[in-house]
Amino acid sequence: MAAFNLEDPAARSAFVEALAPVVDAPLVDRVAVDARGTRCRLRWRRDGESLSGSFEVMFFSDSARADSVRSALNVADDVGVRAPRSRWLVAFGTGAALFVTPVDGIPFAAAWIRRDRHAPPELLAEPLIALHEGSELDVPATHPLEACALTRVGGESMPNWWHAALDDLARSVPYQCAAATCHGDYGPRSVIIGRGGLAVTNWSEAGVGDPRLDVAAMSLGAHEVGEGALRGPALRAYRSERPVSPDELRWFEILVGCRRYAALKPESGAPEVPARLETWIRERTTAVSAGRSRAGTSDRPRS
């Protein structure tokens, strides 16, 4: 998601100018933003009536990516997964801004850490099951080998062990499954507990894809927050409804781990994060290699 500063007066003025035709009404004040610059409150007039609303603004450098996220949010609404609702998609500069109605509550991760009774580990999987079950398509997802190759793009500066992990994945590729609407970064930090029940936030990576990537992201996120006590029950809950084999899961966990590692910023000030992530990837790479040695062959597509 592109960075954008609504607190800059010139940028804000240009943004309001682009927004007014989409709202189809004159804006009567400048955009008021919160400290993060991602939420704003608008006031406008329509048919003599003064209206207002609070919105989360998601900025994208690629308008196609913004449209993909909007489509995913609409699908989530259709299948009963509570999420921010898409309101307006505004072309802005070379990119786009997506306005959504925010949902508020306590992050599942925080509730789990304090052992809130409203955050049993199995509950973490429920929105993901509903999203994948309700949106599965009759077309295949991106082939895992292609997903692996795409992960390597731009990773020339990554350490040798990172490239070795992706090399190992290419030698034991799982079958190509049906595509579904995917969240893209699902986990206990993207699920919140509010008055209306569970809701899912942080949809900036959403789109149509391989649902096993979402499962692997949930696995990694649950491990980071609660290790096996959260990860195990959440995975069992998901896999009881949508089977994913242990070998498949490890394969996609490595892929998600490599993508997460490549996205880490050196200035994040948390050197223990990449170290833990490296351990996660290496442990699973060893398990995948051992499984391949026992089987004597790569995974075969299911008939």
Taken in order of first residue, the domains within the chain and their CATH numbers are 9-101 (3.30.200.20), 106-295 (3.90.1200.10)
Other C-beta atoms within 10 Å of 215: how many? Answer: 27
Question: Would you say 193 and 105 are in contact if contact means Cβ atoms under 8 Å apart?
Answer: yes
pLDDT, tens digit, for every residue of 245-287? Answer: 999 999 999 999 999 999 886 555 555 678 889 999 999 988 7
Kindly tell me if the per-residue pLDDT of 301 is higher than 50.
no
pLDDT-based confidence at 5, cuts 50/70/90? low
User: What pTM was computed for the model?
Assistant: 0.86
Kindly tell me if the per-residue pLDDT of 289 is higher than 70.
no
Kindly tell me if the per-residue pLDDT of 71 is higher than 90.
yes
Rounded CA-CA distance 143/299 in Å is: 14
208 or 26: which leads in pLDDT? 208
pLDDT, tens digit, for every residue of 108-134? Answer: 999 999 999 889 999 999 999 999 999
